[in-house]
Amino acid sequence: MLDIKQILTNPEAFQKNCKNRRVNIDINSVIEAYHRKNSTSQELQNLRHKQNEIAQQIPKEKSAETKKQLVEEGRGLKNEISRLEKQFSEEETTWHALMQQLPNMTHPDVPQGGEEDARELKRFGKIPTFSFTPLNHLELGQNLDLVDFDAGTEVTGQKFYFLKNEAVFLELGLIRYALDIAVKHGYSPTITPDLAKIEILEGTGYAPRGNESQFYTIEGHDLCLIGTSEMTIGGMLKNKILDAKELPLRIAGISHCFRTEAGALGRESKGLYRVHQFSKVELFVFSLPEESEKMHAEILAIEEEIFQGLELPYRVIDIASADLGNPAYRKFDIEAWMPGRGAAGGSYGEVTSTSNCTDFQARRLGIKYRDGAGKAVPVHTLNGTAVAISRALVALLENGQQADGSILLPNALIPYCGFDKILRKK
């Protein structure tokens, strides 16, 4: 959530930010709702003060007639206060809902536009060439008996799957590999719940309700399956005030992730690239405001270290304003080369994302630290993917395929998996 005082000071900047992020909301309506609920609050305060004065006056009044008038006046005030309390509650709910729709402000260096306007910042590695026609990960997974989508569909539904044989060790190895790198950089490992309260999802800037929601809700409970452990880790310190000396607080979260992927169709979304459930190691930082851009660079560097160790070609892109999502001030994605992706012999596909959310999530969740003057100030929060297993598998299988149909593993994973190559089953 944004700071209403800043909105009141410079509404034009916030309206321009909404336009650049293609969020259709009128800042004036937010300001009007704010003043309206404040006006009602002031009126309530005045009536309660008057009610208290009358309540104190009645026992002292000696005239029966005057006392009767005061009692009637008090009764009328009680009814009016009751009406205004309901009105204030409705107005506050309306204002809060409007504030919840507002996106974070945007870093001045972020490119303007949508998905197609992301700016490429760098590339790593050489795109592989093959002496044979490369297969996509679906074909490789079937040939090597690594993934069973048919059984997943039968048991659970479309976009669910069973990982089998060496793919199981690949998942476990990738988790431990990424976790070891994160711990080396000072991140504390944690396994988070796979469920979170709706208020926690909303607090981290996501919309768990409505037709556009990407999250599974649990019927009869105020809970959702999480889409990322960013949600659970962010909620860990809800309404806490931290000591500045504790910051930055670095956490590496392991969880399953669940997403409905509503409307996610098409060739490039097939197989493991876009699924309803996957495992992930997430990097999360609670930071001092003045250090959050440095922390953002740190997370990106760790992501690059992980994928360089996996020997995968990739590029880093600076996400454009309308594609940031509400919480992010700035977002960098790593896209790995996937030879089986697209119709033209391969393309880049997103494997990690890292966002600086500044104080957007912390304001909603009430997470603060005490500054040098002892004032409680919102922290900054940042998040980034260390490894999302399903997409990492896509890149590893497709880039590591050999002419004999086997898959060669990168050296960094061999100690974690116990083998260097996946062979066809006899």
Burial class of 245 by CB neighbour count within 10 A (0 to 12, 13 to 18, 19+):
exposed
Tell me what pLDDT residue 120 has.
98
pLDDT in tens, 397-425: 999 999 999 999 999 999 999 999 999 87
Which two structure tokens, joined as six digits, stand for 11?
């509404």
Among candidate residues 256, 285, 310, 334, the one with its CA nearest the CA of residue 186: 285
CB 3 within 8 A of CB 363: yes
Q: What is the mean pLDDT of residues 67-79?
A: 87
| Rounded CA separation 280/270 (Å) | 19
| Rounded CA separation 329/308 (Å) | 26
Tell me what pLDDT residue 211 has.
63
Q: What is the mean pLDDT of residues 226-245?
A: 96
Q: What is the mean pLDDT of residues 94-100?
A: 93
Q: What are the chain's domains?
A: 4-101 (1.10.287.40), 115-422 (3.30.930.10)
In terms of pTM, does the model score above 0.85? yes
HSE, side-chain direction, 13 A CA sphere, residue 380: 20
Mean pLDDT of the chain: 94
pLDDT at 262 over 80: no
**Mutual angle of helices 166-184 and 389-400, in 10-degree steps:** 110
C-alpha of 382 from chain center:
10
Which two structure tokens, joined as six digits, stand for 390?
């399903």
Under the banding of pLDDT at 50, 70 and 90, the label for residue 55 is confident
Angle at 280 between CA 276 and CA 286, to 5 degrees: 120
pLDDT in tens, 78-94: 999 999 999 999 999 99
Q: Mean pLDDT check: name the lowest of 30-39, 57-66, 274-283, 352-361.
A: 57-66
Q: What is the mean pLDDT of residues 318-344?
A: 94
pLDDT at 344 over 80: no
Helix (H) or strand (E) holding 36: helix 27-57
Residues labelled as active-site residues: 259, 274, 350, 353, 391
| Rounded CA separation 5/25 (Å) | 18
